Amino acid sequence: MNTEPESFHGRNRVSAKALSRVVSAITADSLGVAAKDVAVDLADDNGLLGVKASTPIRVRPLGRDQRSVLDRAADTQNVIRDRMLDLTGSSVGSVSVRLTAARTSTEGRTR
């Protein structure tokens, strides 16, 4: 039995379109909206992945949300950084989350 670690040659490349879809899904999950409603722009950020996401946000009726809309958007920036590294191996630098609309509902996420 070989106990030495395997060595891998070459690298895997993930297309920009695939990365954009992953960012859309992560953002949508974090803010309670459909991934198709999230627009993503990717750019080089000094060797890291720069992310700009424009998205609506799902909000509950007044008095039910514990965190402000701005707090949730800021949390989403960190979620994008962490999950992109976990899911794709991409190190994310700057993340901008632009909220385009607030959608209210008393139910869970709609798709």
39 or 104, higher pLDDT = 39
* Helix segments in 1-111, DSSP class H: 16-31, 69-88
**CA dist., res. 14 & res. 12, Å (int):** 7
Cα dihedral across residues 23, 29, 32, 37: positive or negative = positive
The domain 16-104 having CATH identifier 3.30.300.20: the answer here is yes
pLDDT tens for each residue of 34-89: 999 999 999 999 999 999 999 999 987 766 557 788 999 999 999 999 999 999 99
Strand partners, 54: 39, 98
Q: What's the pTM value of the predicted model, to 2 decimals?
A: 0.80
**Sequence spans of domains, the chain:** 16-104
